[in-house]
Every structure is written in structure tokens, then in C-alpha cells.
Amino acid sequence: MLIYLRILKESFIFAWNALRNNKLRTFLSLLGVTIGIFSIIAVLAAVDSLEREVKGSLNALDNSTVIIMKYSFGPSEIPQWKRQQFPHVSYDEYQYLMRSLPNVAAGTFAQGVPQASIKYQDITSTGVGVVAVTNGFYDIEQFEIAEGRFYSDAESASGAAVLVLGYEIAQNLFGNSNPLGKQVRMYGHRLTVIGVLEKQGAGLMGNSRDGQVMVPVNFTRRIFGDNNENIFGQIILKPEEGTDDDEFVAMAEQQLRNYRGLKPEEVNSFFVNQVQGFADFIDTITGQLNMIGLIISGFSLLVGGFGIANIMFVSVKERTNLIGIQKSLGAKNKFILSQFLFEAIILSVIGGLIGLFLVWLVSLIASQFTGDFEFVLSPLNILIGTAVSAIIGLISGIIPAISASKLDPVEAIRTGM
């Protein structure tokens, strides 16, 4: 063990001297490894950050939750022209499923309505996202009420002019004053504030409720109607715990097919999307992105490997005389082999660490310019980058190290003189 520690120490000294004495040559040789590691880890970090952000937006929903609408979360075999002819799901269909579908723990009907401007006295918040849902949404998505309450079943059914404010909207309109019971104007109507959501923090996918408000869906239905092509509906159902997901989806499909009177040979005119299926789809996409990034970055690493091999061949040539002296004093072939292998690995790891540092630096800068989306260099990616650079050094240095270990001591001393 001690001899290998000594070899490692000497190899590090030789590698450091190579860096110090031949700065330009070493810089150019390590540049390939640095660029290669930077490319690979940058891709992995970006994809991991995107995957974490997207999945974080789904955490508020249980994986077994299904979302029924005319659109599909993922690819579909149904032609686009045919999908465009599908009708939007309706409030009546939601009520029918809630009555007829077994094992439903919670359900809600949602409308995708336009953003709105909300005014209180002389203060206006523009571009506010409006979440138009029935009160069953409170039992489906994980969010907390900081002040007041969520609207009741009766208020939901009647489409009462009430709303729950996101934290940011409440701060913009009311500051530190109590908003409960105050009236605001939205879509040309007066609504009474009955609650304020807990602060969530923003997210890439718009999953944060801070900049949104929630209103009964029947309130927006009176304004926009049920036949507006620009207003799409969604039926969101959460099955009871322990319910078989596939069976639940099949039952929901059959019930809605019955309601729409579809014949057995006709395809579904709607999609039953599972949150878990969307998460799996994201895994597939990120896996493909990672693979493409690794293949492209691999070419940079290949160039970097040649650079390390080149500098090691030069190092062997420069130290031929020293190798001959070491072997004449009893140094074994494996000692010389290990010395040059360690040196190649150390040089490559130095290049890899520089690449990791650049990724970390770029991630900090990118996070500042992308607002709420945070690029994160995970410990796993750091480990991957270090390991890959070490492997590249090992592969690149093996042939020069073998050639050095097989030198004849007499010839080596004579050649180096």
C-alpha cells in the first residue's frame, strides 16, 4: 500500500511539473477533456434540472390521478385531424361520472379560461391565471389555505361570485391589509375574496398558485359558456386508495363511452391521461435527451483522450533517461507502468475538474437569468464527471505507460544521454 501511495505522490509531482513547465502544451492537451466533461455534465445537469422541475409540478397530484380531456399527454396513434374533431368534455359528463363511476375518492371539473386582470380600488394585477374548478379540487391537489377558506360545495354548484387569491396576487392588491371579505373586479364582475393560499414559490411549469386565483367553475361557465372552442374542459378524478389503476381507467373509459353513445368499433373521442403515465413519458424523453447528449459529448472526450495520450508519449520520451536509471536501480516494470498510468489519470482528472468547475459556474449564471428555474449540479453528476475523466486518463495512458515499462534500461540511458 505504501509503495502505491509513493507512486501516486510522485506521479502527482510529475503531472504538476508537466503543467507548470509546459503550460501551453498541457493546456491544449487538457482542453479536449475539459470540453468533453463540460459537455457531458452540462447536458446531464440541464436534463436532470428540467426533469426535477417537471416532476415537481406533478407532486401536488397523486400518481393514480386521471385527467380526462380531448387532448393526450403523450403521442397518440389517432391522426391529428381526427383528434381535432373530438368534443371537449363537459360539466354534465363530469356529474355523470361522479354518479356512476365506483371507487372515486375525489373529483373535479376544470375549465381552461383566459388570464384576467383583477382590480381592487385603484390597484390592478394583470395577466393573472384563473383556476376555474369545482370545490372537489381541494381534495385532489395539495395546497394550503393561509387565510379564510375554500369555497363550499353549495357555492361551487351555484357558481357564487367568490374567489381564493394566490399569495402573490393578495400581496399585490392588498399588501399587509386583510383581504377577506373585500370585493374585486374580474371579467367585468364583482367577486368577494374568501381565502388566500399559502405561499408556494414559483415553478417552471406554471404549477405555482402564487400568481393565480381560484373561482367556482360554474361562475366561469356563465361567462364563457360550454360551447366555446377556446375554453377546454377537464375532468380530474382521484381513485380510492387500493383501487387498481388500470381497472379504474378502463371503467372511466367505458362509462364515458356509454354516455357519448360510442359504438364498439369506434375509437374513444377523448383521452384518459394518467399522471403516472405522464411521469413515465417524461422519463423516456429525458432518457433520450441524455443519450443524445452523451453521444455528442463523447466525440469531445475522444479528442481529449488523444490529447492525454499525446502528452504522455511526449512525457515518456522526455524522461527516457530517468526511466533507464530507475530500472537500473531495480525499479520493476509495474512500478514504471503504475507511475505513468497515475500521471495520465491525474492529468485527465485535472481537466475534468476544470470542466466541472465551468459547469458549476455556468449553472450559477444560468439560474440568475432564468428566474425561478434553477440549474443544479448534483453530487451524482460530479461523481460521474470525475469517474469519466479518470477512465479517459486510464485508457489514454495505458499504451504510453506500457511502452515506458518495456524500455531496456541500458538503451533508455543511452538514448536519453
Quick one: 65 exposed, middle or buried, by C-beta within 10 A (0-12, 13-18, 19+)? Answer: buried
By the 8 A CB rule, do 121 and 305 touch?
no
Q: How confident is the model over 123-136, as a mean pLDDT? A: 91
What integer pLDDT is reported at residue 331 of this predicted model? 67
Higher pLDDT, 203 or 124: 124
Query: For residue 58, is pLDDT > 70?
Result: no
Q: Which of 147-156, 233-242, 324-333 has the highest mean pLDDT?
A: 147-156
Alpha carbon distance 25, 30 (integer Å): 9
Neighbour-count burial for 326-335, b at 16+ CB within 10 Å, e otherwise: bbeeebeeeb
Among 214, 222, 190, 202, residue whose Cα is nearest residue 108: 214
Average pLDDT, the chain: 80
What integer pLDDT is reported at residue 160 of this predicted model? 93
Hey, what's the cell of 268? 374513444
pLDDT tens string 87-108: 889 999 999 999 999 888 889 9
pLDDT tens string 195-236: 999 887 655 444 578 889 999 999 999 998 888 878 889 999
Query: For residue 372, is pLDDT > 60?
Result: no
Hey, what's the cell of 203? 415553478
pTM: 0.61
In the chain, % of residues over pLDDT 90: 23
The contacts of residue 179 (CB under 8 Å, 6+ apart) are 147, 165, 170, 173, 193, 196
Q: How confident is the model over 375-399, as a mean pLDDT? A: 81
By the 8 A CB rule, do 391 and 310 touch?
no
Alpha carbon distance 369, 47 (integer Å): 17
Alpha carbon distance 215, 47 (integer Å): 35
Read off the pLDDT band of 404 (50, 70, 90).
confident
Read off the pLDDT band of 191 (50, 70, 90).
very high
Query: For residue 82, is pLDDT > 70?
Result: yes
